[in-house]
Structure 1
Amino acid sequence: MTKTSVEPVVVPRPARRPRLWLSVTALVVALAAGGFITFRLAQPVPAPRIAQTVPQTYAIPGDPPVLPWPRAGQATVEIDGLGRLGASGDARPVPIASVTKVMTAYLVLRDHPLRLDEDGPTLTVSADEAAAYPAQLASGQSLVRVEAGEVLTERQALQALLLPSANNVAHMLARWDAGSSGAFVARMNEAAARLGMADTRYTDPSGLDPATVSTAADQVVLARTAMQVPVLAQIVAMPQATLPVVGQVKNVNTQLGQDGIVGIKTGSTDEAGGCLLFAAEISVEGRRLRLFGAVLAPGPNLADAFAASRRLIQAGSGLVRQYRVVRAGEVVATVRGPMGRSTTLAAAGDVDVLGWPGLTYRIDTLAAVPGRVAAGTGAGTLKLTASATTVTVALRTTGALAPPSWWERITHG
């Protein structure tokens, strides 16, 4: 019997996988992590956001004032820079008589500016203008006597226009400035349109024509603009002046110097009644303000306009007071940075405004805060605005603000 030999079966071991894949995986993970970190750190840190915490507006508390308005005609009163105190009557265009001459003077000075100490160029009275004087006088117009060949400086002509309210000199100035009264009137209407005087139409430079019409509100707009011209403001405040031929002339506005009145122009015709465009200076908390107003036809005579205006000035000048809106240290805004960091902005001083009950100020926070800031750092302003008046106060951070760390940017990006 033959023996069969059985050889052992050798099971091959599996080949060892190279360790390279482990190295590659680790590299990939490392690169991915590095890219992620780089990406997170490369992202810009959002700028802190500022949110105002005080109201967007401040209305002075109390009942709005009621002025002693005239029972007839129309009137408007405002405090320069702060806004309108009120108005009365039917605000439709009506004749304004010699109040028209404010626009005439304003345009002449716009085209031929004068310094306060300057007489300016001259104009000569023509033979036709002198010859027209007797008929004009017979018709009852407001005039100054002139002679052919008479020479007036620009300042003298404006004095004749604005103080005794000379109709004839209004036409002389129009001819001198624009070549003719018609051309000058076109300029008057262009200027009115630029100033936003939508309810005003001029047909002559003197106001004698009742077709020259306006409203109290429009004339206050003009007064506010015209009184910014130093020479015009100087002339309308003069009680008298001396002219070459007629000699001394007096200002028809006999209210000058009373209740702070410093101008600006009277007017009176049968069609217009008594009219007065006025400016008065008032003092509030050591500050000088101007009160502007117009009364058109409160009665048939100029005396009616004087009386109505003085009542309005006396009442209006006592209405303006000082009010505290924000106190020093009061928080007015929050600053929120990334990662929940925050601080606040506080007023560096008291904020006081002038006005009257019902007047509203808009409140704006104008600030920018960097990502890192120390407590007490200046960070902008708080601005309060009413009409053309602006009151500001500096803002400071109440606490520090720091940007997020690199770890926070990675883990909370």
Structure 2
Amino acid sequence: MRTPILRRRVARWGTAVLLAAVPATTAVPAEALPISPLPSTGQAALWFAGHSMTGGPVSTPQPIASVTKVMTAYQVLADHPLKPGDQGPTITVLASEVTAYRAARLGGESVIPVAAGERISEHTALEAMLLPSANDMARILARWDAGGISGFVSRMNATAALLGMRNTHYADPAGVNTATVSTATDQLRLDQMAMADPVLAGVVGEKSATVPVAGTVRNSNPLLGTDGFVGTKTGWTTAAGSCLMFAAREPDRHGGARMVYGVLLGQPGGPSSGAIFASATRMVNAARAGL
């Protein structure tokens, strides 16, 4: 088994340096604010400039839908690191995976067309998974990375444990399985770590990409390019409700930029509802106002 990225960083930098790289937070209770920017339903977590805010039952694991794919991408890049601009190794799509794609499409899943013998680079496969939220590409990446989906899921859970995600359990790489559960606070930590990887941050910040067979695919996150949003991942299932992991860049007075990170889980509205994106925008605006 390859060493997860967090363990490699411990070996390279030492525990003290690693912990310093994971921002410390100061809790800011929502009720202390005149008007809370957090929604009144589901779970929410927000981080900005060392301060955090949470809302809802953030100690209770719940399904997280396609937000799961952030950990899938993080794990793939831990096992097969890429540098910005690299395409990485080539993945060959198996005939059995084409059969699985067809079954998933008939089952109403979010998938992307694939063909037997199709050759796709690691980087392009990450785009195909993360932008249109393709469940079949998540499974293809898992098989390629670990030799099988169950082995890959074990790696995901080991990495979650290393990241201190105590209320998280992954049962699949796509988020379709309702046994894949987490909390807004756990996913907030992953958001920060994932966006620290320039390749992963670059992919989730793309509005569109071109992949074999499917052609042009578009990002399911309509916030990109507005109000400083640069990521991260949408999600929806009947069991999970609407979910969103997000990141926004906030310019500072010195010409630099600071990041705002947030997670929303279990929000009302289907995949075409704009309510969750409006909630994320309110949260980012609150961060800009200094919480």
| CA distance in 2: counterparts of 1:300 and 1:200, whole angstroms | 24
Displacement after TM superposition at 1:162 (Å): 0.6
Q: Does 1:306 align with 2:277?
A: yes
With over 3 angstroms needed to count, the CA separation of the structure-2 counterparts of 1:300 and 1:210, relative to structure 1, is farther
Gaps of 5+ in 2: 1-30
- In the alignment, what sits opposite 2:79? 111
> What is the percentage of aligned positions where both structures have the same residue?
47
- Report the equivalent of 2:258: 289
Superposition pairs of residues 168-247 of structure 1, within 5 angstroms:
168-247=136-215
Determine the structure 2 residue equivalent to 1:275.
Answer: 243
The partner residue of 1:89 within 56, 61, 64 is 56
State the 1:147 CA deviation: 0.4
Q: State the shift of 1:89 in Å.
A: 0.6
When the two structures are aligned, how many residues end up with a matched partner?
A: 257
- How many angstroms apart in 2 are the aligned matches of 1:194 and 1:273? 27
Retained in 2: the 8 A contact 1:297–1:305? no
> Highest relative contact order (Cα 8 Å, sep 6+), 1 or 2?
2
Q: 1:254 pairs with 205, 222, 240, which one?
A: 222
Alpha-carbon separation, structure 2, partners of 1:201 and 1:279: 23
Task: Give the structure 2 partner of residue 146 of structure 1.
Answer: 114
Superposition pairs for residues 2-401 of structure 1, below 5 Å? 64-65=32-33, 67-79=36-48, 82-84=50-52, 86-91=53-58, 92-286=60-254, 287-302=256-271, 303=273, 304-319=275-290
TM norm structure 1: 0.61
What value does the CA root-mean-square deviation take over the aligned residues? 1.5
Residue 300 of structure 1: how far off its partner (Å): 3.1
> TM-score when scaled to structure 2?
0.85
In the TM superposition, structure 1's runs of 4+ consecutive aligned residues that sit over 4 Å from their partners are none
Q: Which deviations, in whole Å up to 9, do the C-alpha atoms of 1:18-76 show, x marking residues without a partner?
A: xxxxxxxxxxxxxxxxxxxxxxxxxxxxxxxxxxxxxxxxxxxxx95453211110100
Report the structure, 1 or 2, having the larger helix content. 2
Q: Is the 8 A contact 1:296 1:305 kept in 2?
A: no
Distance in 2 separating the partners of 1:210 and 1:300? 18
How far does the alpha carbon of each residue in 1:237-289 deviate from its partner, in whole angstroms, 9 at most, with x for none? 00000001110000001110111100000000000010000000112322310
Secondary structure in structure 2 of the residue aligned to 1:249:
strand
- One-letter identity of the residue aligned with 1:288: A
CA distance in 2, matches of 1:89, 1:64: 15
1:83: how far off?
Answer: 3.0
Secondary structure of the structure 2 residue equivalent to 1:297: strand
Aligned position for 1:7: none
Q: Which moved more, 1:291-300 or 1:220-229?
A: 291-300
What amino acid maps onto 1:311 in structure 2? R
Post-superposition offset of 1:318 = 1.8
**Cα distance per residue 1:204-255 (max 9 Å; x no partner):** 0000011100000000000100111100000000000000111000000111
The structural deviation recorded for 1:298 is 2.0
1:326-354 CA-to-partner distances (Å, cap 9, x unmatched) read xxxxxxxxxxxxxxxxxxxxxxxxxxxxx
DSSP-derived class of the 2:267 partner:
coil
User: Matches of 1:283 and 1:115 in 2, distance apart?
Assistant: 26
Alpha-carbon distance between aligned partners in 2 of 1:104 and 1:221, rounded to the nearest angstrom:
15
